[in-house]
């Protein structure tokens, strides 16, 4: 296998947990920058716009341009602008997803299920109430298209495992009989969006994540090298994990893999 020329990083559980930096993350990014190796972030985060994520990373000593961050929310907004332009969208998501929509523009958001042409489900939040899910369900039953920013099962938080959006996506699919178009990982389009940021082909890049299923399986399928880090969700998977290109303790072990 040729040495990767660029890296796509998952964020939560790889660079930080709950916006507390993981050991060695800032130093690893600095080493890559010093070696001139391009890297980007691909995250299923939907709770903050890319501008806010960049600010948080900078505060942890990891300055990162917002334009090199691909989130499930930003990729979904781009998808809706491209595939559903002019259609009315019922958005059930966190405030950060609404902020990403506001920064990107071009979407017609509605609040009533009767007005919706598209239902778009973001990550879980206090707004994910039974009443809100009922609005989404009724719109789907009336023929609205179904788009989900991501379908993760759970995510690591400083307080322990957190329930993610997958149960709501699957629940609405089951109840309505409709399949969601999922934009974030593990959908291949999310990885290709990150590769466009790098300006590399899949076989020239490596995906680094803490979940071999949600982060790495699709990356491998489209031809990327893969690296599993044993931080975040990483310790919950068998070791060594079959099929990954590299299996390392943490992100501090990544730069040597690409010659940095």
Selecting from 3.40.50.300, 1.25.40.390, 3.40.50.1100, 3.40.50.1000, what CATH number does the domain 72-182 have? Answer: 3.40.50.1000
pLDDT one digit per residue (tens) for the chain, 260 residues: 789 999 999 999 999 998 789 999 999 999 999 999 999 999 988 888 999 999 999 999 999 999 999 999 999 998 999 899 999 999 999 998 899 888 887 799 999 999 999 999 998 888 889 999 999 999 999 999 999 999 888 877 778 888 888 999 999 999 999 999 999 988 998 999 999 999 999 999 999 999 999 899 999 999 999 999 999 999 999 988 999 999 999 999 999 999 98
Sign of CA dihedral 172, 176, 182, 185: positive
Q: pTM of the entire structure?
A: 0.84
Contacts by residues 125-133 (CB-CB < 8 Å, ≥ 24 positions apart) = 125/47, 125/93, 125/94, 125/95, 127/92, 127/93, 127/94, 128/92, 128/168, 132/92, 133/92, 133/168, 133/171, 133/172
CB-based contact 88:116 (threshold 8 Å): yes
Selecting from 1.10.4190.10, 3.20.20.70, 3.40.50.1000, 3.40.50.150, what CATH number does the domain 6-44+196-258 have? Answer: 3.40.50.1000
CB-based contact 74:105 (threshold 8 Å): no
- Residue 51 sits at the vertex; the CA angle it makes with 48 and 56, to the nearest 5 degrees, is 70
Q: Would the CATH topology of 6-44+196-258 be identical to that of 72-182?
A: yes
The values of phi and psi at residue 184, to 5°, are -75, 180
- Residue 241 sits at the vertex; the CA angle it makes with 235 and 243, to the nearest 5 degrees, is 145
What are the domain boundaries of the chain?
6-44+196-258, 72-182
Listed in sequence order, the residues at least 6 apart from 69 whose beta carbon sits closer than 8 Å to its beta carbon are 40, 41, 43, 50, 53, 54
In order, the DSSP letters of 21-54 are: EPTTHHHHHHHHHHTT--EEEEE---SS-HHHHH
pLDDT of 158 reads: 75
pLDDT of 18 reads: 81
Distance from C-alpha of 49 to C-alpha of 256, rounded to nearest angstrom: 31
pLDDT of 241 reads: 92
Distance from C-alpha of 33 to C-alpha of 55, rounded to nearest angstrom: 18
Distance from C-alpha of 254 to C-alpha of 232, rounded to nearest angstrom: 15
Q: Which helix (H) or strand (E) element contains residue 169?
A: helix 166-176
pLDDT of 225 reads: 98
């Amino acid at each position: 296998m040729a040495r990767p020329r660029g890296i796509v990083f998952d964020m939560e559980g790889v660079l930080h947990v709950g916006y507390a930096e993981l050991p060695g993350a800032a130093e690893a990014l600095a080493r890559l920058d010093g070696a001139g190796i391009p890297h980007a972030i691909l995250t299923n985060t939907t709770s903050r716009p890319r501008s806010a994520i960049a600010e948080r990373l900078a505060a942890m000593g990891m300055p990162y341009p917002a334009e090199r961050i691909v989130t499930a929310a930003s990729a979904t907004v781009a998808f809706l602008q491209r595939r559903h332009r002019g259609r009315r969208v019922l958005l059930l998501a966190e405030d950060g997803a609404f902020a990403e929509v506001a920064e990107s523009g071009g979407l017609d958001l509605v609040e009533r299920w009767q007005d919706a042409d598209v239902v778009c489900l973001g990550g879980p939040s206090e707004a994910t109430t039974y009443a809100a899910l009922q609005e989404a369900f009724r719109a789907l039953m009336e023929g609205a298209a179904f788009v989900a920013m991501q379908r993760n099962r759970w995510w690591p938080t400083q307080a322990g495992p957190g329930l993610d959006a997958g149960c709501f996506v699957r629940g609405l699919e089951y109840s309505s009989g409709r399949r969601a178009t999922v934009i974030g990982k593990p959908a291949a389009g999310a990885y290709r969006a990150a590769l466009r940021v790098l300006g590399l082909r899949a076989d020239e890049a490596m995906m680094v994540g803490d979940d071999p299923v949600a982060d790495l399986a699709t990356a491998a399928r489209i031809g990327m090298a893969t690296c599993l880090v044993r931080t975040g969700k990483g310790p919950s998977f068998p070791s060594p994990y079959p099929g990954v290109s590299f299996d390392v303790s943490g992100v501090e072990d990544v730069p040597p893999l690409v010659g940095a």
